[in-house]
Amino acid sequence: MSTKITITTYDWVPEFAHGYVRDIRVRWLCEEIGRDYDIETVPVREKSAEHYSRQPFGQVPILTDGDLSLFESGAILLYLAEGSPLLPEGQNRAIATQWLIASLNSVEPYAMKWAEAKFFTKDEALAARCEKPLRERLKQVQNGLGDREWLAGDSFSVADLMMSDVLRAPANNGLLDDLPGLASYLERSTSRPAFGRAMADHMAHWRAADERLAASE
Ligand SMILES: N[C@@H](CCC(=O)N[C@@H](CS)C(=O)NCC(=O)O)C(=O)O
């Protein structure tokens, strides 16, 4: 019997980050594989030594499973997906791993540079400059997907979960409007009931955090 796991996320984040804190990836995976989890929080404002001892970069998400504490959303997804259909066997496992790493290593850095300029520092000129290489990467992902339904094999895998999560912010800001193949792929992923449940819980968490903050002011 598997143990109850805990996902660590922040106690609060600004509104623009609602929907995008990376605990959503872990919540989504848990919903896909039917794994129960608890949520615990760490302060976003004053990060503790204990937080750094579990996540050397002072980030979230962190997963706790018994005496295992794991950071990096990609590592967490690969760990939790083990033995489930989301991590296929044989060659498709290697291909799923390849695309999961590609989403984190070859696409997300471009999306993050753009998002940092657009939403964190609100530097529109820099955001516009970052948009060009990001659009190029998005086109390349669409080409890489080709006319396949999913990235690895015939069914939805951890690679699709991670790639889709990386694509959401660009998509929600119009950057997939001229990439119909990739837009349909993302729609296929995010219309999965597991994503809907994970996102509802994720948003409820931030709503409760806002209410707590308002009550304390
Ligand atoms: N590569 C890490 C990135 C984690 C990450 O950037 N987490 C964000 C929240 S979504 C965070 O904690 N940001 C605050 C910070 O970097 O100080 C992963 O995929 O887990």
Domain boundaries, the chain: 5-84+194-209, 91-192
pLDDT of 3 reads: 80
pLDDT of 1 reads: 61
Q: What is the mean pLDDT of residues 107-133?
A: 97
Contact criterion met (CB below 8 Å) for 36 and 70? no
| The one-letter amino acid at 118 | K
One CATH from 3.30.390.50, 3.40.50.300, 1.20.1050.10, 3.40.930.10 for 91-192: 1.20.1050.10
Percent of the chain with pLDDT over 70: 100
Best mutation site among 7, 42, 55, 60 for ligand 1 pocket (most ligand atoms within 8 Å of CB): 60
Among 1-15, 43-57, 128-142, 149-163, where is mean pLDDT lowest? 1-15
User: Of all protein residues, whose CA lies closest to atom 15 belonging to ligand 1?
Assistant: 59
The DSSP symbol for 179 reads: -
Percent of the chain with pLDDT over 90: 98
User: Of all protein residues, whose CA lies closest to atom 6 belonging to ligand 1?
Assistant: 59
pLDDT of 33 reads: 98
77-87 tens-digit pLDDT:
999 999 999 99
Q: For all residues of the chain together, what is the average pLDDT?
A: 97
pLDDT of 118 reads: 95
Q: What is the mean pLDDT of residues 171-177?
A: 98
Residue 91 Cα, ligand 1 centroid: separation in angstroms? 30
> Is any atom of ligand 1 closer than 6 Å to the C-beta of 62?
no
> Is any atom of ligand 1 closer than 6 Å to the C-beta of 59?
yes
Locate the ligand 1 atom nearest the alpha carbon of residue 22 and give its number. 10
Q: What is the mean pLDDT of residues 175-202?
A: 98
Q: In DSSP terms, which residues pair with 37 in a beta bridge?
A: 5
> Is any atom of ligand 1 closer than 6 Å to the C-beta of 58?
yes
Best mutation site among 42, 59, 202, 205 for ligand 1 pocket (most ligand atoms within 8 Å of CB): 59
CATH annotation of 5-84+194-209: 3.40.30.10
What long-range pairs does 49-57 form, CB within 8 A, spacing at least 24?
A: 54/8
Residue 157 reports pLDDT greater than 70: yes
User: Of all protein residues, whose CA lies closest to atom 17 belonging to ligand 1?
Assistant: 59
Cis peptide bond prior to 109, omega within 30° of 0: no
Residue 110 reports pLDDT greater than 70: yes
What is the distance between the alpha carbons of residues 95 and 91, in angstroms, rounded to a whole number? 6
Of 9, 12, 5, 52, whose CA–CA distance to 212 is shortest?
12
